Amino acid sequence: MQTQMLIGGDWRGAAGGELIDVIDPATGDTAAGVAAGTPADAVAACDAAAAAQPGWAATAPRVRSEVLRDAHRILVEHTDELADLITLENGKPRADAIGEVAYAAEFFRWNAEEAVRIHGSISVAPSGANRIITRHPPVGVVAMITPWNFPAAMITRKLAPALAAGNAVVIKPPREAPLTSLRVAELLGEAGVPPGVVNLVPTANSGAWLDAVVDHRAVRMLSFTGSTEVGRVLLKRCADRVLKVVMELGGNAPFVVFADADLEAATAGAMVAKMRHSAETCTAANRFFVEAPAHDEFVERLAAAMGAMKVGKGSDPDVTCGPMINAASVENIDRLVRSAVDGGATAVTGGSSIDGPGFFYEPTVLGGVEAGAPITREEIFGPVAPISSFTDTDAMIAAANDTEMGLIGYVYTQDLAKGLAVSERIEAGMIGLNRGAVSDPAAPFGGMKQSGLGREGASEGIYEFCETQYIAAEW
């Protein structure tokens, strides 16, 4: 497969000739070397996108739609290959990797249908003097920065609507996991995406890459998925040129279990919400609030389920929890767990890093965690479930909302009216009501507060990559 940059339809080495080592997190060994793009390479990619933009924007929506439909088909046909790449560079269990490929491909199918439904409007001005015409042209060249935790899905969730709307793009794939992105870009060529419409430049110097791209006069938008801390920096930088920005940032999801919940279903949902993709997701349940009468049984059930997980290399078909992305991630998880235990929490199961090659941490359940404890203030991004008990619903909701993050929340109860009422009071862009997974290309993905700006997916997602133009017409 290609390990170089894609610029203007050509695969080329970096201007400086340097490489990025891609590490297999299950072993700590170098899996591949990828071209480390320079600012000059980023500028060349923007130039190529600018040259391709007018032609792609002028392409008939039906033609763009068919290209995306072919992209869906081709990705599905390459499921095994892409899943192997995801597991190699990200470490997640292969079953999760296969699920990610299906999810990633679906963004192309969904947006193939949306490409022909970018609607404008025409109306008569209240004065009767003229017609008001609105239309939604593509925003222009879009810069994209994608994360390592979903090497396939995070690139397609951005690419598919951008391409459907008629935009050319310049992508910085994640340094830790660029291989899947490179292969997806290669397969898009097979689907008929014209040269220069998709450009991909890995880099070891994200700051210099960003400066080169943001300052390029053809770039009109930045789409970013990553931490809130980095998002703030990017938002300030994009303000210099008043770029349009869509960001999906960090999460600190509450997972609420009421005493009347089906605890078997709640435990199964918690395992999905917490442990899917080895717990390295922005939508992972981060803080568990369990009503007192159900607390002990839920802790026992969740600890049994977490303790039964097999930890190991994702390519092993029996493994259900793979490695963390790097050593720093393991160290941060361990710091949070030790702080919680020092503060009075109990490790019901797990609680330690795992010695040996690779970057592993035990699936961990922490009981007796105080609401507002340090571990509840940070996004854990690892296989740790801190559980607190509650008796007062209003106080629990206040604690659930006591964070600057507002990406997602989860609620389990058999009382639908109560579930809806509590869901509406949780300050988050998405709620899983008796569900441990909510992501769907047909649904608007995004958060409130400091968890992001804009939405990805659904009908709303494609309009993020469009402008709104108004024409006053008289006839």
Residue type, 280: E
Q: Which of 100, 176, 248, 379 is catalytic?
A: 248
Which DSSP category does 450 fall into?
A: T
Q: Is 456 a catalytic residue?
A: no
Helix runs in 282-439, H state only:
292-307, 327-342, 393-400, 416-425
Q: How many CB atoms lie within 10 A of CB 72?
A: 21
CA angle 384, 389, 391 (to 5 degrees): 155
Q: Give, rounded to a whole angstrom, the gap between the first and last alpha carbons of the chain.
A: 57
Q: Which of 282, 321, 362, 456 is catalytic?
A: 282
CA atoms in the 13 A half-sphere facing the CB of 325:
22
Per the CB < 8 A criterion, the answer to whether 465 and 138 are in contact is yes
Q: Is 238 a catalytic residue?
A: no
CA atoms in the 13 A half-sphere facing the CB of 200:
29
Q: 360 is written with which tokens?
A: 């592993």
Strands 384-390 and 405-406: unpaired
Which residue from 40, 33, 34 is spatially nearest to 16, judged by alpha carbons? 40
- H/E element holding 452? strand 452-453
Give buried/exposed letters for 259-268 (b at 16+ CB in 10 A, else e): eebebeebbe
Q: What are phi and psi of 67, to 5 degrees?
A: -65, -45
Q: How many CB atoms lie within 10 A of CB 168?
A: 29
Active site residues: 248, 282
